[in-house]
């Protein structure tokens, strides 16, 4: 027993010696400087405390508002007007489309820490080819929303559990130009939001159930990828991953193969959700539509519903 203890101590001493020698070797060839704790990187501002890590882009947002001339504008409450319906042809065609495209590019980078503007930016990117005046007005409305809370960002709690849970939703046929549906999801590790998405589906869904089932399939793919990524990092998460959905028909299709007669028009690659549910990797849970967090990424919402959902996403403004 004593021999084992001294043997382990020797191994620790040798490993520390190797690390020290390697650091001396690096210092002899490269000039290194310890910059301390991470605070600012590529426009991302990081604040660390015992409560967790806060990630925001306040300086980047203020610079964006200053460059666009909206630093002293009157702020708005929501990123997009719920009554607004943007199309590809209505309104006057912009004479200078580079300004519109430049702003969209900057806003896309801002979505790294601002899930609240994801749907609005996703909508505006659909008109990059030929932007019209209503599209530019919608972008100015979004800039005024950013003025309301430029320091808003994400909080990754240090007391969060290692439980993967996701919320998935879709808006059937919401695109007035192509009649395609919108897929949206948000994924949490415990209480920390780590992944979110709003994207128009690649095909036209013949029914609302098909659109919902495609959204469910897309969310399941993201969950499985995150599980494998965490496993590669040797991070053990609770199993199964929880997937909350507000469409009973889609849950029944994924859980019960006897509904095959009603799903002949759905492509086979969407049915891999059944295998994951049967193997215990995923667990589908019903949820009421008013608590569906992914609804934030499917359509513009009124202020009451918007802030009710946003408050449950660990989105904070430390400023």
Q: Are residues 168 and 278 in the same domain?
A: yes
Judge whether 246 lies within some domain: yes
Question: CA torsion angle for 233, 234, 236, 242 (degrees, to 10)?
Answer: 30
- At 266 the pLDDT is 62
- The secondary structure of the chain in percent helix, strand, coil, rounded to multiples of 5, reads 45, 20, 35
Q: Are residues 131 and 183 in the same domain?
A: no
pTM of this structure: 0.79
Q: Are residues 202 and 128 in the same domain?
A: no
Q: Are residues 187 and 283 in the same domain?
A: yes
Q: Are residues 144 and 237 in the same domain?
A: no
- At 62 the pLDDT is 93
Report the distance separating Cα 304 and Cα 310, nearest Å: 10
Strand order in the sheet with 152-157: 40-41, 44-49, 52-56, 152-157, 315-317
Judge whether 26 lies within some domain: no
- At 11 the pLDDT is 46
Judge whether 233 lies within some domain: yes
Judge whether 90 lies within some domain: yes
Report the distance separating Cα 270 and Cα 32, nearest Å: 50
- At 30 the pLDDT is 62
Provide CB contacts within 8 A for 290, sequence distance 6+: 305
Of 91, 119, 148, which residue sits at a domain end? 148
Judge whether 17 lies within some domain: no
Judge whether 37 lies within some domain: no
Q: Could you give the number of structural domains in the chain?
A: 2
End-to-end CA distance of the chain: 56
The answer to whether 218 and 185 have CB atoms below 8 angstroms apart is yes
Q: Are residues 183 and 225 in the same domain?
A: yes
Q: Are residues 182 and 248 in the same domain?
A: yes
Report the distance separating Cα 89 and Cα 142, nearest Å: 21
Using DSSP, state whether 271 is helix, strand or coil: helix
- CA dist list (Å): 284 to 163, 181, 212, 217, 277: 14, 22, 13, 12, 8
Q: Are residues 106 and 190 in the same domain?
A: no
Q: Are residues 185 and 143 in the same domain?
A: no
Judge whether 38 lies within some domain: no
Q: Which domain holds residue 199?
A: 160-287
Judge whether 220 lies within some domain: yes
Residues of the chain with pLDDT below 50 are 1-14
CATH number at residue 195: 3.30.420.10
**Residue 128: closest CA among 150, 151, 162, 99:** 99
- At 255 the pLDDT is 66
Q: Are residues 87 and 178 in the same domain?
A: no
- At 6 the pLDDT is 33
Q: Are residues 140 and 167 in the same domain?
A: no
Question: CA torsion angle for 73, 77, 83, 88 (degrees, to 10)?
Answer: 50
Q: Are residues 164 and 275 in the same domain?
A: yes
């Amino acid at each position: 027993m004593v021999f084992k203890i001294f043997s382990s101590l020797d191994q620790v001493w040798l490993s520390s010696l190797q690390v020290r020698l390697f650091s001396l070797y690096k210092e002899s060839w490269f000039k290194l400087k310890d910059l301390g704790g991470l605070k600012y990187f590529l426009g991302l501002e990081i604040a660390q405390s015992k409560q967790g890590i806060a990630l925001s882009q306040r300086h980047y947002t203020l610079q964006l508002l200053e460059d666009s001339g909206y630093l002293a504008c009157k702020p708005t409450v929501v990123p997009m007007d719920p009554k607004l319906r943007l199309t590809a042809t209505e309104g006057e065609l912009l004479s200078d489309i580079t300004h519109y495209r430049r702003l969209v590019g900057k806003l896309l980078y801002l979505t790294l820490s601002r899930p609240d503007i994801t749907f609005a930016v996703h909508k505006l990117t659909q008109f990059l080819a030929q932007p019209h005046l209503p599209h530019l007005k919608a972008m100015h409305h979004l800039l005024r929303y950013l003025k309301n809370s430029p320091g808003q960002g994400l909080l990754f709690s240090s007391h969060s559990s290692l439980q993967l849970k996701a919320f998935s939703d879709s808006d059937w046929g919401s695109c007035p130009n192509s009649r395609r549906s919108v897929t949206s999801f948000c994924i949490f590790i415990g209480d920390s939001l780590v992944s979110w998405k709003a994207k128009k589906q690649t095909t036209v869904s013949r029914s609302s159930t098909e659109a919902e089932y495609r959204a469910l399939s897309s969310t399941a793919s993201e969950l499985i990828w995150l599980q494998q990524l965490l496993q590669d990092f040797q991070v053990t998460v609770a199993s199964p991953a929880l997937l909350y959905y507000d469409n009973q028909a889609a849950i029944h299709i994924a859980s019960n193969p006897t509904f095959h007669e009603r799903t002949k028009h759905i492509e086979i690659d969407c049915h891999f959700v059944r295998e994951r549910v049967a193997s215990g990797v995923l667990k589908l849970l019903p949820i009421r539509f008013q608590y569906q967090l992914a609804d934030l990424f499917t359509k513009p919402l009124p202020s009451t519903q918007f802030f009710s959902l946003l408050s449950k996403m660990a989105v904070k403004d430390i400023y």
